[in-house]
Amino acid sequence: MLQIGDQAPLFEADSTQGPVRLQDYIGKRPVVLIFYPMDETPGCTAQLCAVRDSKAAYEARGAAVIGINPASAEQHRKFAEHHGFDFPIVSDKDERIRKLYGVGKLLGLFLQQRIVYAIDKRGRIVFAKKGSPSAEDILRAL
């Protein structure tokens, strides 16, 4: 797991809203990366619905939110449409991004861990926490 103060690794990947390049955000706005295990499970759905419901708070800080897990872009599109998620969800099929960010695996190496990172405008990690932290905790770090 990356630590506060570490430089966020750059990545580019397909998402529910087209290609996402972390470098396009650096220098412009903070970014919240939400690594979550699986689409359409109770815990993951609740976590991402909480992000959706906190949209105004994230926008007030100028923060972009990006969900990440290894499911396909098509699976993510269905998940996003079903729940009204208007932030990109990245398909990390080869798990390259997970590995760059030190996100481990759970349940016999099947699912990735649930970890949230907040990255400031300079590209530095300012928040790193396992689990499903509140929007208030994440935004306080920004």
Pair of tokens at residue 107:
């349940």
Q: What is the pLDDT of residues 2-48, one digit of tens each?
A: 999 999 999 999 999 999 999 999 999 999 999 999 999 999 999 99
Let me know if residue 137 belongs to a domain: yes
On the question of pLDDT at 108 being above 90, the answer is no
Count: domains in the chain:
1
**Does residue 95 come out as left (phi exceeding 0), alpha (psi in the -120 to 50 range) or beta?**
left
Q: How many CB atoms lie within 10 A of CB 47?
A: 19
**Domain assignment of residue 2, yes or no:** no
Q: What is the CATH number of the domain that holds 42?
A: 3.40.30.10
Instruction: Give the active site residues.
Output: 44
Range of the domain at 93: 12-141
Residue 96 is assigned to a structural domain of this protein? yes
- Whole-prediction pTM value? 0.95
List the structure tokens of 98.
């997970």
For residue 33, give the nearest of 13, 93, 77 by alpha carbon: 13
pLDDT in tens, 111-140: 889 999 999 999 999 999 999 999 999 999
Single-letter amino acid code for the residue at 59: E
Tokens of 75: 């699976």
